[in-house]
Structure formats: C-alpha cells, structure tokens
Amino acid sequence: MKKWMVILVLLAACGDSRETKLQNFLLKGNIAFKQRNFDQASYYYGEAIKVEPCFADAWNNLGTISFELRHYDQANEYYEKAIACKPDFLNALFNHANTSYELKEYYKALDDLEKIRKVKPDTSLVYFTEGLVYTKMREFDKALQAFQSAINLDTANMDYHVNHAIVQFYLRQFDIAKAELIAAMQRKPEEPNIYNTLALIESEQGNYSAALQWVNKALELSPRQPYFLNNRGFIYLSTNEIEKATADINESISIDPYNAWAYRNKGLLAMFQQDYAYAERLFQQALKTDDFVDKIYFYLGMNYLNMNKRGLACEAFNKSEQRVERMVTNDQIKMCKTENAQ
C-alpha cells in the first residue's frame, strides 16, 4: 500500500511562541523520521502533543511511525486521534484507510476513501487504493472500475495499469491481462512488476520456461525483491527443481517475513517432501498472514487428504470452490458428497 508522505513544515517565524514550539518539535520529529530514527521522532511528536494535546499533525505522524513498524492497531488509534482533532485532515484519513486495509477492515477503508473523494474527487490515488481494497474483498469487477478510474486520471502511472492487469489475471482473463501488460511494457520497459505479472500468467498456464524468463527479467531490474523471488521459487517447484525452489522461497521469507505467498509455497515444498504436519502449519501461517492467498484452501485440502483427514479436506475444498478457484476435481467433489452423507 502507498501512503501519503509526511510533509516537513519550515518556519519563517522566530521566538518562543506556542505555535513556534509546536512547529519546531514537528520539524525535528520529521527530520528524525526521515532518518528512520523512530524513537527520537516519537519523542519530538510527544513533546508537541504536551504543548497542544490536539495537535493533529503530531498524532498523524505518530500513526505513520506505528504503521512503518507494522503496529497497525496502534497506528489506527493515532490516526483516529488526528481525525478527531481535525475531521477534514485528508492525510490522516488516507493513512487511516491504509491502516484499515492492513487490518482487513475493508469497509472502514472504503468509508475513509469516500470522505476524501467528496473533497478531492479527482485524486487518482484514492481510486487506486479503492481498487486494492476491492481486490482483497474479491469484488473484482469493482476493482477493475476503480483502477480504470485511476488510469483515466493519471495514465502515466504504471502501478495503475499493472494492478488492472492483475485483476484480469484473477478473473482468468489471461489474454486481456497479457495485452495490457505488453502495452504497459512499451511505455515503461523498466517497470519490474510488469514482468513479474507476466510470469504469474505464464506459470498459471503451465508455460514455465516463459515464466522463468519473465521473472528473471523482473529480478534483473529489482534484485532480492521478495515477491519476485517467491514467484521464481514457485516456478522452480513446479519444474521439480527443489533446491533452487527452496533457496528462493527461504530468501523471500528472510527478506519479508510477512509474505503470505512465500509461506504457502514453503508449505508446498513441505508437502512435496511428505512432511504434512509441517506443511499444515505453513499453510495456516499463510492464512493467518493474508487469507487472500491464491489457491491456499485447495492446497490445504490436498494436504489434509495426505494426512487422511477427509473431513477437514472437504471443508478446505468447499472454501476453494466458494472462491471459484476452479481447482477442485470432480472426483474430490464426489468424495466430499460421500463424506457429508456419512
């Protein structure tokens, strides 16, 4: 998620007035924040709040520190204090929407974005973020509309085009997604997410050689990007290159321990190695981190079958079917009907 940046406030005034103290503390805090010295930044913002308990800028910036540290509940509280002090504070509203997104409180995020849109109806980032929220909600048609609105307002932003194509990928409109990505590539060939998404499409279609070429191109442009490494690890896993798969997936997790897709793929590795109990823990870790993860319930169901836990397998398969992942076989559906009838 992208969030609005903290804006440094510089003063022309001098002296020891209350307003000058507030702005000096804010300035010092912002400098420390830019240096990622979060303890010092928090101290200065706290000093500003001692001078003015309803200083919205300081509360907002404290929220951003907590957000950077992934302390989302705390960030949420700080942003709400900023908004309570200054209800029309668009920066805080947007940051609160980002935090609600991370907390999976998607309707709260949409409510914040609607408030911003009423004041700034032509803000492309609002529509883009709305598209991200709808994607997580699996309301893909609404996500496409939101990303298209963002593109209409800022056609030069390739993030908007790539995310529009990713939704086409989730809808399994592979040819449309490819065409959109190729068009984006012609406009911005140095954008690595274009190549990573093309790799996802080719991998989904079983074209692993082409997928590997695309993801390697993405990694040339952005080495050690955890999502790209994990994607390559999945390709290696699909072609039975287990050592390479293990190295990429483990490196992805070491770089970003919150990468749910990497835990899913590490679970697939464990399942391949017949360590089903460990695979179950990894799949559950993936779900805990982000339950949006593609095909996670199907793989979890397959793992339960390997553990001879048919009831749990059928529960997982049912959830996979509800997501329209089109992975559960007719034989598995028949098996589950028999299991339910017993």
How is 78-104 classified by DSSP, letter by letter?
HHHHHHHH-TT-HHHHHHHHHHHHHTT
Distance (Å, whole) CA 83 – CA 112 = 11
pLDDT (0 to 100) of residue 6? 40
pLDDT (0 to 100) of residue 275? 97
pLDDT (0 to 100) of residue 9? 42
Residue with structure tokens 């993801």? 215
The three-point CA angle 241-258-148 to 5° equals: 95
pLDDT (0 to 100) of residue 16? 56
Tell me which long-range contacts 337-341 makes (C-beta under 8 A, separation of at least 24).
339/310, 339/311, 339/314, 340/314
**Which positions ≥6 away from 7 have C-beta within 8 Å?**
30, 91
pLDDT (0 to 100) of residue 211? 98
Mean pLDDT by 10 residues, the chain (342 residues): 41 61 92 95 95 95 96 97 96 96 96 96 96 96 98 95 96 96 95 96 96 98 96 97 97 96 97 96 96 95 95 94 90 84 62
pLDDT (0 to 100) of residue 4? 43
Distance (Å, whole) CA 124 – CA 120 = 9
Residue with structure tokens 């028999």? 338
For 102, the token pair is: 């991370």
Distance (Å, whole) CA 298 – CA 288 = 16
Tell me which long-range contacts 98-102 makes (C-beta under 8 A, separation of at least 24).
98/1, 98/2, 98/3, 98/67, 98/129, 99/63, 99/67, 99/72, 99/75, 100/76, 101/1, 101/129, 101/132, 101/133, 101/136, 102/1, 102/67, 102/70, 102/72
Distance (Å, whole) CA 151 – CA 162 = 10
**Which positions ≥6 away from 295 have C-beta within 8 Å?**
264, 320, 325, 327
pLDDT (0 to 100) of residue 216? 98
Count Cβ atoms below 10 Å from residue 296 Cβ, excluding itself: 25
Domains of the chain: 15-112 (1.25.40.10)
pLDDT (0 to 100) of residue 8? 38
pTM exceeding the 0.75 threshold for the entire prediction: yes
pLDDT (0 to 100) of residue 337? 83
Distance (Å, whole) CA 285 – CA 270 = 13
State the DSSP H helix or E strand holding residue 73, giving kind and residue range, or none if neither: helix 72-85
pLDDT (0 to 100) of residue 1? 40
pLDDT (0 to 100) of residue 212? 98
State the DSSP H helix or E strand holding residue 112, giving kind and residue range, or none if neither: helix 106-119
DSSP state letter for 328: S
Q: With CA atoms as reference, report the closest residue to 75 among 51, 94, 53.
A: 94
